[in-house]
Amino acid sequence: MDRREIAALLAYIGRLDPRSIRTDQGEARDQLAQWNELLGDVPMATPYGWDARVAARQHYRASPYQIQPADVVRPWESYRRNRLALHWDPTPSADPDDQAAWTAELVDTRRAVAAGIAQPAYAPAITSSQEEIAPRLQARLDRIGSCIPPAARAALAPFRPARAAREAAAQGLPDALSVRCEWCLAPVGERCRRRRIGPNDGVRAITPRATPHPGRLDLASQQAQRTAQAQQPALA
């Protein structure tokens, strides 16, 4: 803002808060010089959403205190940060081999966006609809089968027994983790635990087991049988 715009802003603030009006000519000149020094790089308004008068009005809507230059600078800095956060640097039109021109165009674009002169360039979005993407993804998954090759899955099984148990359940075997273990009291979804007993019959440590307890497997099998029987239609 130049001195004339700052004078207009101070006149607008004076209408909102008569306490800010300086009737003495010297005080008014000092106030104008102070605001000009602190708000010289803040525009009065931009084409895309910034207006210093709106910032002043918002201050008096939320605070009973007289406005200070910082109460206008803070919203302006927040406005700049928000716009830069939305900006996605587009590919410059300059020659990529000319590093100076390439960098200068990127910097100029960012400055224009931050100053409210240009709109942020948003990241390119997927233009295809979900109906068009889903069949292609399904066809690719059917062709690949799994993102983990079978040999790698078998090699990883000893190091992730819980996952191996769930994969075995998907192949028709009972899922032991779908029921609570009555032996070690492991809850649903967690591996069975092994308790190490000390000389005085106290529990020294609890470590997860690589395989579930046999009783838990039996409970999972019984639950699977009951579920299958419940799903069968009743005979007439």
3-state SS assignment for residue 194: strand
Q: Give pLDDT, residue 183.
A: 83
Q: Give pLDDT, residue 94.
A: 87
Q: Which two tokens stand for residue 180?
A: 């609570």
Q: Which regions of the chain are under pLDDT 50?
A: 235-236
Q: What is the model's pTM? A: 0.51
Residue type for position 81: R
Q: Give pLDDT, residue 169.
A: 59
Q: Give pLDDT, residue 11.
A: 95
Q: Give pLDDT, residue 157.
A: 74
Q: Which residues have a Cβ under 8 Å from the Cβ of 77 and sit 6 or more positions away?
A: none
CA gyration radius, the chain: 35
Q: Give pLDDT, residue 210.
A: 72
